[in-house]
Structure 1
């Protein structure tokens, strides 16, 4: 699989973009030219210079420094949300697909109920009930999105349950835990990776959107959605304020979407 990824130029390019962005976020203190929260009203809306490569915002804060520090809440919290969602969805999907019977019926009815509500509306409702804050945004996103993954993973488990190696393991009396951990999960894992990669863009946009609306990351913390929210107030007089965070969101979301498309083609069993 690694050789196929290396041969795919789009996969390599998007991986470079994603990994580079993550490294920049990890070493934000060393790479950011200025303190992201340092204000200077006398320098507000300054144009690009050696001191402020991308200029400053309405409080005189360095846009580039805030953009770099904004990687952590925007990207890393999205990765945390996706990891928790995938883990919960995989556990429930595998249990439902492998156990079947009454357990499967109960779990899938719960999944059907969760899937019957529009995800964004439910996230807004949950955040509205729990209160404003990024922790509640993450909890709401996980609570709403796990059902979709559980449904998809259950379908994959049902498909693999009738394969010869699973039937043989059951025939010789292999324990359920061993079959699930050594046979079932490794075979559904590639599909899980593709689903997670394709959906990362949605999670990033969701967290940025809620921060844009004032429900996620709170000021003065740097986050791309919050930066867009601050820039919207001067969109007519200083429209360039929206360019940096807007382009950043566009690039990272596009990178995950293109990587997901490439991985789907690479991991497609028909192509093996």
Structure 2
């Protein structure tokens, strides 16, 4: 599998872009040339220079510094949201797919209700009730998206329920916890990784979109979607202001999508 991953150029490039971006986000104080929130009207809309490699915005803040600091709010929070969502979805999906019966019926009917509404509309509704703020955006995203993962993972679990080694484990009296953690979970782990990687782009766009609308990260905290929102006000006079955050979102979302596609092919058991 590792050899196949190394041979896949798209997977390697996508992975390196994501890894490089995450590493940069770990050391913004060292790598950012300026403060991300310090304003300077004198330097308003300053062009690219040694002091401001990507220029400045309408408040004279360094765009490159805001992009670097924005990695933490845009990507790190997206990763945190995805981890929480996938953990909840995996636990619920495993319980539903393995135990069946009343528990499965209750869980699946709840999932059906949640999935019957457009996810974005539900997230906006939850944020509207909880209030504006990135914390509420994360809570809303997790509360809505776990149902999709629960259904997908339940489907994967059902494929293994009647495998010989599972039946044998039940026959000799192995506990449900042991069977789920030692037999079923390892078999569906690759599918979970692919699902999470493919959906990371959606999470990043979701957080950026809500910040763009003013419902997520609040000023002056740097965030790529919020930077786009600020730049739209000068789109006709200074269109270049939208390029940096727009390209950053495009590249990182495309990288996650391409990495997910490559992992799906690499981890496909039919190809092993």
* Same-fold status (TM-score > 0.5): yes
Paired residue for 2:93?
Answer: 93
State the partner residue of 1:191.
191
> Alignment partner of 1:234: what SS?
coil
The CA deviation at 1:33 is 0.3
Cα distance between partner residues in 2 of 1:255 and 1:217: 23
Is 1:156 the counterpart of 2:156 in the alignment? yes
What is the match of residue 179 of structure 1? 179
Note the C-alpha offset of 1:2: 1.5
Q: Which moved more, 1:125-134 or 1:163-172?
A: 163-172
**Residue 16 of structure 1: SS of its match in structure 2?**
helix
SS in 2 for 1:219: coil
Partner of 2:77: 77
Residue matched to 1:215: 215
Partner of 1:147 in structure 2? Answer: 147
**1:102 pairs with 2:102:** yes
Does residue 125 in structure 1 map to residue 125 in structure 2?
yes
Match in the other structure for 2:18: 18
Question: 1: distance between equivalents of 2:54 and 2:209?
Answer: 23
For residues 41-70 of structure 1, what are the alpha-carbon distances to aligned partners after superposition, in whole Å with 9 as ceiling and x for unaligned? 011000000000000000000000000000
Where does residue 204 of structure 2 map in the other structure? 204
1:53 corresponds in structure 2 to: 53
Structure 2: runs of 5 or more not aligned: none
Q: Residues of 1 paired with 2:139 and 2:186: CA distance?
A: 27
Q: Which residue of 2 aligns with 1:113?
A: 113
Q: Deviations over 1:186-226 (max 9, x none)?
A: 11111000000000000000000000000000000000000
Number of residue pairs the alignment of both structures matches: 272
Q: Please give the secondary structure, in 1, of the residue aligned with 2:233.
A: helix
Q: Could you give the per-residue CA deviations for residues 141-183 of structure 1, whole angstroms, max 9, x where no partner exists?
A: 0001000000000000000111111111111111111101111
Instruction: Show structure 1 runs of 5+ residues with no match.
Output: none
Alignment of 1:38 with 2:38, yes or no, is yes
Give 2:259's aligned residue: 259
- Name the residue aligned to 2:137: 137
2-structure distance, mates of 1:33, 1:41: 18
Q: Take 1:41 and 1:165, find their aligned partners in 2: how far apart are those partners?
A: 69
| TM-score, structure 1 normalization | 0.99
| 1:241 correspondence with 2:254 | no
Q: Supply the distance in 1 between the matched residues of 2:245 and 2:148 (Cα, whole angstroms).
A: 29
SS of alignment partner, residue 29 of structure 2: helix
**SS in structure 2 at match of 1:126:** helix
Inter-partner Cα distance in structure 2 for 1:39 and 1:79:
30
What RMSD over aligned residues (CA atoms) do the two structures have, in Å? 0.5
Which 4+ runs in 1 deviate beyond 4 A? none
Q: Report which stretch shifted further, 218-227 or 1-10.
A: 1-10
Partner Cα separation in structure 1 for residue 174 and residue 142 of structure 2: 33
1:67 aligns with 2:67: yes
